[in-house]
Amino acid sequence: MAWLGILALAACGRPDTVIHVAIRDFDGHTAPVAKLRLVILPYDRDSVLAALESRSRTPRPDTRALDSIFAQVRQPFGALLRATWFDRRLRDSLEDLRRRTSAEPRGSARYRELYLAFATAADSLVPAQQRLVEANRVAGAAYRRVGSRLDQLRLVMTRWEDSTFRRYDSEIASLTTRLARSRQEIVTGADGRAAVRLPEGRWWVYARAPDPADPNAGWYWNVPVRGDSIALDPGSAQHRPCYTTRCP
C-alpha cells in the first residue's frame, strides 16, 4: 500500500495556515496584493519596539508639522497616483486587447468585436496621458513648496528611530534563542494568498503595504496567528503615516 504512504507524506507537508492580503484600490474595491513579503515571527514585534522606546533617552519627535504637510499635499499627490494607475491600467488593457485581436481570424465576428474594443480604449489614451502630465505638474509644484521641509522633518524622525531601536536586532536574537523558534518569510501569490506550516507556539504575521491612494501613508500589520486562516486587510491593519525616509 505504497500509495497510502505517499498520501500520508503529502498530508504532513500540507500548510496549515493560509494568509490572504487585500487592500482597497483606486476604485474603492478590495483587491489582492501580490508579491508582498510576509514575515512570520515567534514574538510580538510591537511589544519589542514599545519596550525599546520606553528606554529611549529622548521622546518621539512631534509629528504635527509632518501631519500638516501631508494634509497639504494629499490631494495633488493622490491625483498623481490615480492618474498614473489609470494610465498603466489602460496600457495593460490595450496590450491585452492587441494580443487577443491578433489571435483571431480577420473578418470573424470575434475579431471585429475585439478590434472595436481596442479602438475605443485607444481613443482614451491621449486624454489619459494629458491628465497624467497635468497631475505630474501640479504634484511637482506642491512638492517644491514643501519638499525641503518635509525631507528635514523625516530625517529627524529617521535619526530618532535609528537611535531608539538600535538594539532591536540583538533583542530579537535573544528572544529567538530563548523561544527556540526562528522567523519565517513567505511571499503572496497573484491571488494575494500565501500558506505556511508553523510549529507549535505563538506566532505573529508582520507586513507592510503602501496605500495606493496616499503616497505618505501605508498599511501595517502585526497580527497574532489564530486558527488556520488570516485576513490581512484594512480591517486588521493600522493605517500609518510615513514619517521616516523608509516608507513601505
Residue type, 92: D
Q: Quick count: other Cβ atoms within 10 Å of Cβ 226?
A: 10
As a 3-state breakdown, the chain gives helix, strand, coil percent values, each rounded to 5, of 50, 20, 30
Residue 33 pLDDT: 96
Residue 248 pLDDT: 62
How do beta strands 17-24 and 30-32 pair? antiparallel
Residue 29 pLDDT: 84
What's the rounded Cα separation, in Å, for the pair 163 and 159? Answer: 6
Average pLDDT over the chain reads 91
Residue 9 pLDDT: 39
Backbone angles phi and psi of 126, in degrees to 5: -65, -50
Q: Give the closest residue to 153 by CA, choosing from 66, 239, 235.
A: 66
The better pLDDT of the pair 8, 186 is held by 186
Q: Give the closest residue to 203 by CA, choosing from 9, 13, 11, 16.
A: 16
What's the rounded Cα separation, in Å, for the pair 202 and 164? Answer: 26
6 pLDDT higher than 50: no
- Rounded (10°) angle between helices 64-102 and 125-164: 140
Total-model pTM: 0.82
Alpha-carbon separation of residue 95 from 34, 45, 108, 113, 117 (angstroms)? 21, 43, 20, 16, 12
Contact 43, 204 (CB under 8 A): yes
194 pLDDT higher than 70: yes
| Lookup: cell for 203 | 506566532
The better pLDDT of the pair 34, 11 is held by 34
Q: What are the boundaries of each domain within the chain?
A: 2-42+183-241, 64-161
159 pLDDT higher than 70: yes
243 pLDDT higher than 70: yes
Q: Quick count: other Cβ atoms within 10 Å of Cβ 98?
A: 15
Residue 224 pLDDT: 97
Backbone angles phi and psi of 58, in degrees to 5: -125, 145
3 pLDDT higher than 60: no
**pLDDT, mean of residues 177-198:** 94
Q: Which CATH superfamily is domain 2-42+183-241 in?
A: Carboxypeptidase-like, regulatory domain (2.60.40.1120)
Residue 60 pLDDT: 96
pLDDT tens per residue, range 102-139:
999 998 999 999 999 999 999 999 999 999 999 999 99
Q: Give the closest residue to 139 by CA, choosing from 83, 210, 198, 182.
A: 83
2 pLDDT higher than 80: no
Q: What's the distance, Cα to Cα, between the start and end of the chain in Å?
A: 51
3-state secondary structure of 240: strand
Q: Give the closest residue to 186 by CA, choosing from 33, 38, 43, 42.
A: 38
pLDDT tens per residue, range 40-88:
999 999 999 999 999 999 999 999 999 999 999 999 999 999 999 999 9
